[in-house]
Chain A
Amino acid sequence: MKVFRSLLMLGLLSMGMAGCEDNSAITLGFLGGLSGRATDLGGTARNGMQLAVEEVNAKGGIHGKSVEMIIKDDKQDPETARQATQELVRAGVNAIIGPVTSTIAVSVADIVNDAGILMLGVTVTTNELSDINDQFIRMLSPTSVYADTFARYLFSDRKIHSYAVIYDLGNRAYTESWVSDFSRRFKALGGIETAAETFTSGDTDSLMLSAQKVLAQPCDMVILVANSVDAAMLAKLVREAKPDQALSTSEWAGTERLIELGGRYVEGALVQQYLDRESQDADFQNFREAFVRRFNQEPGFAGMLAYNGTHLVLKSIQEKGPDQTLRDYILDKSVFPGIQGPTRFNKFGDASAKTYVTEIREGRFKVIKQL
């Protein structure tokens, strides 16, 4: 009955308002891979954003207006992503949260620059977009920073002197950045690269082939630069052949799905991470609890970064002056509070994040060092 009364009111209102369109709502777009093998990253990022939006709306929205989301699946395909981005621009979104992979970010950056709409990359770390004064800003530093520190750690702390790498050409913008940064640093330190093999995500044959090739020569460490599902498969292929082979992955694979699918084959693997899952920090615990309650899954780093990013974008929309662009406001202010430490943007809009080296022990990520 209540529903129908309000419907009647709605009918009355819509009659009264016919003609004057209401563009006053705050709209945020989301762009990310929501289908296929990269779903775990895109899905948790989407969920992180959704949680933040729901929190803001529950507190009355921005300037009394509720925040709405338009969610687009880039299918990890540049063409689909461009189309989706154009749709978001046409819908007049205030900002876009996403994407979650570098290749997509590279392919859509020009669209948001032309439209003058802020795009906040969640887990995008390609070097291709670093140090550019554009509408694209991101929650993480370029791969150069993380690959570099990881190379130092492996070489110095773990006494690794040779490595083989397998990486995914499906997210070339990230994987190639990472691999080249890593190898440059590692070689500079005096290490050797025994193999660098590639595959394309979704093409199982190329994946199996790359594993075989890497195993041809012995090395201290096999490094997987792939998404969690592919990394789990590769780990299985590697460890089946050489059960004692040391393994590590880049941050990209560092999701719960890696352990779920990798099982015993990823035990002992070193995984670089953007978050400390075992942090006892109250903010993190509350966030994690809310996330699990809402989505029945762990937030992972993508969930946390998207959550932090969405909050800082909404806060900036609320606080910025009328003649200031969103990007300028964010870069002016540059420091925003966040779960597991503040987000700090440099003048190009690249934020730095803490990274941790974790080792998978008994099916859990254990932090062994903060880099």
Chain B
Amino acid sequence: MPVKTHPLSTELFRQMAIVAAVPALITAVFFFFLILPRLEQIITSQQRSVAQIIASQTTQYIESAEEQIRLFSDLTLNDPSLTPRQSNLDAFVEQSPYFETLYLVDASGLIEMIGLREDGRPRRNLYLGLDLSKTTFLARSAQDQKQGWSDVFLSVVTGRLSIAYYLTQADQKIVAEIAIDRMPRLSQKFSEREFLVMLLDQTHAIVAHPDPAISQQQENLGNLPILADKEREAVTSGQFNWHGLDYFGTAIQMATPAWTVLVAQDQSLFSRPLSIILKIWLISMVITVLTAYFVSVSKSNDLSRRFEALNEQSARITAGDYTSAPYHEEVAEFQALSYNMRSMAEAIHRREISLQQSEQALRESNARLESRVQERTAELNHSNKELQETLRTLQKTMGQLIQSEKMAALGSLVAGVAHEMNTPIGNALMASSSLSDFASQLKSQLDAGNLRKSDLSQFLDDAIHSTLITARNLEKASELISSFKQVAVDQSSAQRREFKLAEAIEEILLTQKPVLKKHAVVVHAYIPPDIMMEGYPGALGQVLANLVANACMHAFVYQQDRRLWINATREDELIKLRFSDNGRGIPEADLKRIFDPFFTTRRGQGGSGLGLHIVHNLVTEALGGTITVESEPGKGTRFLLTLPLHSPVVARAA
């Protein structure tokens, strides 16, 4: 696979960019996970402390106002000797730093008496008698609360947003109003320092905002996320959007009155430093990347120049200029490389020369080799031709040998037949010639006239006896002839037929009798009489004849007790035919080769070396079975033939 190449500058830039980016990323992660939460903590606690200051100042202010009104009530209302007078109330209001007005409300909710500052006094009559029984806080005080602070409301008396403190004394109520438009000043003071400070009443309507105009509008902030939760904790911090701006704020719930202090900071106040940090970070990233780029470019140019020189040197070497001077360089490694290239060139040069020499030698030896190969090829061709000739001759010879082997078998067959026929026919001849003698003797006696009755009787007895013998022997000869005829037909005609194994073997052994007798071999054949086979009994006969001949020829050379065993067993569709002897056995070295053609231990003594080869061919081809042999020197030889009950239908090869 081809490797994608890229220039050195890219590689260097990549490496340097990684080196530069890793610390930058670590810084960013550090900032994000450690600095940011810390920053949030700082801002929240700052806001909280501001909110707490405002809350405590407001509470203080309210509580000291409360204290003042209680004191006044104790002094003027609880003392039965003193009847409160309009002038007392006016004086109180005039002196109070807190209260704008103070009035006494009777049990039915009407204003009985009202203390006013100087500018309000002309309108006293308008306020006296006002019915306040329906105002929310007085309706509440009528129920359960004896004292407390009202929600923020627009005062009828002062026309200003106010809260009122009410205190119940017997069936009278004292109500004193504080104008809360002073509150914004408190929030203004703090709001100068980046904080937006707001006071919200118990309904979350704005009571104080640095902008007095907004303070007046009583906008309700109850939907802000940090206030919306009714179950919220006393201090909550969070993000919110108000009038289109994003804030981060902290809300503190006050105890008296139940207002909320909300300290918020425009989110841009800290999103700006964040974005500055971010910008610095990004710029430094850009600078880093650019630096990495320029350094890598200049470095790669520098390196390229050196590599160029080295390249040139190596190009010269490639071109075969081994004498080029090494390149001079201040960087040790490059210098070393250049010098090494020089020595490499020299080494290459040396090797090249020796290579040329050996190449020459090689070429010569190659040429020699070629001519030798040609000679050898010609020789081989010649001997190949001779071998083919020999093979042809051998094949021809083998054919002749097989033919003569067959002829020999036929010869022994004929010899066997002649031998067997000799006895009965000889007997018949003798009997008939004896009868002829007896008849001539009788005739001469008759002619001589001395034929006696006893002679005639004797003759008749002899004649009967002789004809009986003759007949019996001729019958036996006839039997023999028909049996030989069968064997001869089988041997020569390759006829496929059904046959009884026991009979076939008996007939074959009969034909082998002369041989067996000649070698004094006793045959023990145990063949179950009921085995029927279908196939080529002629082939089987040849096999047995060859095995018998082989045993007679090889097995029993130096021994008197010569036995052969033939037995057969049937296993399903197979016949196991064992042929064994008690001869001298076959040496292990020969055992593997006994079925090879022309293998013989009696070359020159009449052995053709084809006998067992023919056996092997007949068993495996004509009879469709297998033949194995086992033998040990001194322990006889056992051939095992495994034959199918039905031989395959094939043209018999022989």
Question: Once the chains bind, are B131 and A3 in contact (CB under 8 Å)?
Answer: no
Contact (Cβ within 8 A) A259 B156: no
Chain A residue with minimal CB distance to B275? A11
Flag if B134 contacts A295 (CB, 8 Å): no
Is residue A56 contacting chain B, with contact meaning CB distance below 8 A?
no
Asked whether B267 lies within 8 Å of A34 as measured between CB atoms, the reply is no
B40 with A264: CB separation less than 8 A: no
Give me 10 other A-B pairs in contact (C-beta within 8 A), A12-B278, A50-B220, A237-B126 excluded: A1-B36, A8-B36, A10-B271, A12-B275, A70-B244, A236-B131, A261-B135, A263-B130, A263-B131, A264-B133
Q: How far apart sit A296 and B203, CA to CA, in the bound complex (Å)?
A: 6
Listed residue (B151, B216, B217) with the most chain A CB atoms within 10 angstroms of its CB: B217
Q: Give the shortest distance, in Å, between B10 (CB) and chain A (any CB).
A: 29
Contact A71 B271 (CB under 8 A): no
CB pair A263–B109 under 8 Å, yes or no, is yes
In the assembled complex, B243 has its CB within 8 A of some CB on chain A: yes
Within 8 A of A (CB), among B205-250: 205, 213, 216-220, 222-223, 238-239, 243-244, 246, 248
Contact A39 B219 (CB under 8 A): no
Question: B411 in the interface, Cβ–Cβ < 8 Å?
Answer: no
B274-A7 in contact (CB<8A): yes
Residue pair B40, A4 in contact (C-beta under 8 Å): yes
CB–CB B216/A73 < 8 A: yes
Q: Which residues of A approach B to under 8 Å, CB–CB?
A: 1, 3-8, 10-12, 14-15, 25, 27, 34-37, 39-40, 43, 46-47, 50, 54, 68-71, 73, 202, 204-205, 207-208, 229, 232-233, 236-237, 240, 259-265, 294-297, 363
Contact status B271-A3, CB under 8 Å: no
Instruction: Decide: A208 and B131 in contact? CB cutoff 8 A.
Output: no
Contact across chains for A46 and B219 when beta carbons are under 8 A apart? yes
In the assembled complex, how far is the CB of residue A178 from the closest CB belonging to chain B, in whole angstroms?
Answer: 24
Chain B contributes a number of interface residues (CB within 8 A of A) equal to 46
For this complex, 10 residue pairs linking A to B, each with C-beta atoms less than 8 Å apart, are: A4-B40, A12-B275, A14-B275, A35-B213, A47-B220, A70-B244, A202-B159, A229-B154, A260-B134, A261-B134
Chain B min CB distance to A68 (Å) = 5
Task: Report the Cα distance A207→B125, complex, angstroms.
Answer: 12
CA distance A132 to B108 in the complex (A): 51
Q: Which residues of B contact A4 (CB under 8 A)?
A: 36-37, 39-40
Contact partner of B154 (CB less than 8 A), chosen from A14, A25, A37, A264, is A37
B132 on the interface (CB 8 Å rule)?
yes
Q: Are B131 and A34 in contact (CB under 8 A)?
A: no
* Interface membership of B270, Cβ < 8 A: yes
Interface centre among A4, A232, A363 (most CB of B within 10 A): A4
A12 neighbours in B (Cβ, 8 Å):
275, 278
**Chain B, Cβ-Cβ closest to A261:** B156
With contact pairs A8-B32, A15-B275, A262-B131 given, residues A34 and B216 touching in the complex (Cβ less than 8 Å): yes
In the complex, how many angstroms separate the beta carbon of A222 from the nearest chain B beta carbon? 17
- What is the number of contacts between chain A and chain B, taking CB atoms within 8 Å? 128
How distant is the Cα of A46 from the Cα of B275 in the complex, in angstroms? Answer: 36
In the complex, chain B residues whose CB is within 8 Å of the CB of A1: 36-37, 40
Contact B270 A294 (CB under 8 A): no
Which residue of A has the minimal Cβ distance to B151? Answer: A296
A3:B239 contact, CB within 8 angstroms:
yes
CA distance A3 to B36 in the complex (A): 10
Given A7-B270, A11-B278, A229-B154, answer yes or no on A204-B130 (Cβ-Cβ < 8 Å): no
Instruction: Check if B382 is an interface residue, CB within 8 A of chain A.
Output: no
Taking a contact as CB atoms under 8 Å apart, the answer to whether A8 and B278 are in contact is yes
Q: B126 and A204: CB pair below 8 A?
A: yes
Q: How far is the CB of B41 from chain A (nearest CB, A)?
A: 10
Closest to A202 in B: B159
User: Which chain A residues lie closer than 8 Å to B133 at the CB level?
Assistant: 263-264
Report the minimal beta-carbon distance from B64 to chain A, rounded to whole angstroms: 28
Tell me whether B136 is interfacial, beta carbon within 8 Å: yes
**Contact of B123 with A by CB under 8 A:** yes
Residues in chain A near residue B148, CB distance under 8 A: none
Contact B220 A295 (CB under 8 A): yes
CA distance A46 to B216 in the complex (A): 13
Residue B129 lies at the interface, judged by CB distance under 8 Å to chain A: yes
Residues of the A chain whose Cβ atoms lie less than 8 Å from the Cβ of B217: 34-35, 39, 43, 46, 71, 73
Minimum-distance CB pairs A-B, first 6: A263-B131, A35-B216, A296-B203, A11-B275, A34-B217, A11-B274
| Other-chain contact of A71, B126, B243, B246, B274 (Cβ < 8 Å) | B243
Judged by a CB distance under 8 angstroms, whether B635 is at the interface is no
Q: How far is the CB of B107 from chain A (nearest CB, A)?
A: 13
Q: Which of A8, A261, A296 contacts B220 (CB 8 A)?
A: A296
B279 interface residue per 8 A CB criterion: yes
Chain B residues, Cβ within 8 Å of A240 = 129
Q: Could you say which residues of chain B place their CB within 8 Å of the CB of A71?
A: 217, 219, 243
Given contacts A11-B271, A73-B213, A296-B203, contact A236 B130 (CB under 8 A): yes
Q: Closest A residue to B279 by CB, please name it.
A: A15
Using Cβ atoms and an 8 Å threshold, which residues of chain B touch A15?
275, 278-279
Task: Please state if B131 and A264 are interface contacts (CB–CB under 8 Å).
Answer: yes
Q: How far is the CB of A266 from chain B (nearest CB, A)?
A: 9
From A36, A50, A70, A295, B159 is in contact (CB under 8 Å) with A36
Asked, given contacts A236-B130, A262-B131, whether A3 binds B213 with beta carbons under 8 Å apart, the answer is no
Q: Is the CB of B267 within 8 A of A10?
A: yes
Contacts of A204 in B (CB 8 A): 123, 126
Q: Nearest CB to that of B32 among chain A residues?
A: A8
Say whether A294 contacts B220, CB under 8 Å. yes
The CA-CA distance from A47 to B216 in the complex, in Å, is 14
Taken together as a complex, chains A and B put the C-alpha atoms of A233 and B270 apart, in Å, by 51
Measured CA separation A5–B239 after assembly (Å): 12
Residues of B within 8 A of A233 (CB): 126, 156
Closest to A233 in B: B126
B645 CB → nearest A CB, Å? 96
- Give the CA-CA distance A71 to B203 in the complex, in Å: 20
